[in-house]
Amino acid sequence: MALRRLLPFATAAGVAAALATAVPAVPALAASAPLQLTLPAPTGRDQVGTVSLHLVQNGRQDPWAPGRARELMVNLTYPARHADRYPTAPYMTPGAWASFEHNQGIPAGSVIVPQTAAHEGAAVDRRHGGLPVILFSPGFQGDRTQDTALVQDLASRGYLVATIDHTYIDDEVEFPDGRVAQPAPRQISIELAERVKDVEFVLDELTAIDHRQNPDADHHPLPHGLRGALDLNRVAMFGHSGGGTTTYVTMLDDPRIKAGIDMDGKVIPQSVLGSTLNRPFLLLGREDHTRDSDPSWAQFWNDSTGWKRDFRLQGSQHLSYSDAEFLLPQAASVIGLTPDDLKALIGTIDPARAFTVESTYVDAFFDRHLRHHDEPVLDGPSSQFPEMVFEP
């Protein structure tokens, strides 16, 4: 399997740069009045619910916590009914946000994280039958909230999306008992392999839920209607940066995942993994991320035998494929970001337009490969979305 071939590759010199795309540092906040941040509303017809799961994989030791089983926090976001009867979920849990503020030198209370459009514990809407499942893996040292706007948009269109915090690899991860796991020193030699194991474990636990079990380690109740609501014959995955890398490698290792999207991440060469991908895969790159500039993308393109497309978003940068696209412009005056800083971080494309274009292509990909819809926007240049450059 592909997973067993990762460790020799990951120990080679220079691999850190190949697996993780550097994110420019953001200046510390100056003292100011609290700033309330917001996210764009979902565009689908369904209300959105969410639930957090605390998952423990007994029998698998955590490499960063000797003597402890591997623990993960996962959010499930899904189409809901009567959602307004339930409270909306915060963007981050209080302990994780407080830790983030402290670690980044942000004065407490200077920024108020958004309330999301998702309602905690709302009942699952099962009017449309079994829900296709999409897995999300964040970038290295990102977190499961980093693409909340896109995740909620997918849920409002009838998908269940499982977003995964890779403990000790991602930023602060708060568990239900108040513990906050901090990112460990980088260990590229094992990180990617462990992320793949995390994803496969989560997919196993989703299978348990569909078999009417509750795998939550603390036995918190699941939303009404969740058990038996999943269509696990229709599973896909996407990720940003290192999460895109994780998507590709997990698909090679686990045939349950039928299709995947890499949002501006590297792809591990076929010569290292010893296998090629024969299932649908979409490359979404920033403006200057092309097969000419990234040999890993070029080799994937030449080796892959499955359906594939390659697009890049004009006016974008690496963080354009995350919630930073909206949050950084809102906070710029408070945290001291200049127009040039914003340009370097999220490019020049209007944030609202970037989200419209990105969500259109992501939704079209999953609709084509999980719902078998005709999606011509994926088959060439589009006059409706000229910012998305088609790479034949």
pLDDT tens per residue across span 186-199: 887 799 999 999 99
Instruction: Write down the pLDDT at residue 12.
Output: 35
More confident position, 29 or 36: 36
Q: What is the pLDDT of residue 333?
A: 80
Residue 107: the pLDDT is: 73
Band (pLDDT 50/70/90 cuts) for residue 276 is: confident
- The pLDDT of residue 289 is 97
Q: What is the mean pLDDT of residues 4-11?
A: 40
For residue 228, CA distances in Å to 10, 32, 109, 205 come to 39, 48, 41, 13
Q: The tokens of 55 are what?
A: 């998952």
Residue 31 has pLDDT above 90, yes or no: no
Q: How far is CA 310 from the centre of its chain?
A: 19
- Residue 32 scores a pLDDT above 80: no
Angle at 248 (CA atoms; ends 184, 52), nearest 5 degrees: 55
**Local confidence band at 110 (pLDDT 50, 70, 90 cut-offs):** confident
pLDDT > 90: percent of the chain: 79
pTM of the model: 0.93
C-alpha to C-alpha distance for 269 and 290, rounded to whole angstroms: 16
Compute, in degrees rounded to 10, the torsion defined by CA atoms 310, 313, 314, 316: -130
Distance CA 380, CA 391 (A): 8
Q: How far apart are CA 191 and CA 246, in angstroms?
A: 10
C-alpha–C-alpha distance, residues 237 and 134, integer Å: 5
Average pLDDT over residues 155-181: 96
- What is the model's pLDDT at position 210? 95
Residues 125-154 have a mean pLDDT of: 95
Element (H, E) at 60: strand 47-61
- Give the integer Cα–Cα distance in Å for 286 and 324: 14
End-to-end CA distance of the chain, in Å?
30
Q: What is the pLDDT of residues 315-364, one digit of tens each?
A: 999 999 999 999 999 988 877 789 999 999 999 999 999 999 999 999 99
pLDDT higher for 330 or 272?
330
Cβ-based neighbours of 14, under 8 Å, separated by 6 or more: none
d(CA 124, CA 227): 9
What is the reported pLDDT for 23? Answer: 40
Using pLDDT thresholds of 50, 70 and 90, give the confidence band for residue 21.
very low
Q: Report the pLDDT averaged over residues 111-135.
A: 95
pLDDT in tens, 72-89: 999 999 999 999 999 999
**Band of pLDDT at residue 28, cut at 50, 70 and 90:** very low
Closest by CA to 136, choosing from 236, 253, 20, is 236
pLDDT digits (tens, 9 = 90+) for 277-301: 999 999 999 999 999 999 999 999 9
User: Which domains does the chain carry?
Assistant: 2-8+34-390 (3.40.50.1820)
Q: What is the pLDDT of residue 271?
A: 64
Q: Which residue has the higher pLDDT, 111 or 280?
A: 280
DSSP state of 224: T
In this prediction, residue 334 carries a pLDDT of 76
Q: Which residue has the higher pLDDT, 278 or 25?
A: 278
* Two tokens, residue 314: 């004009």
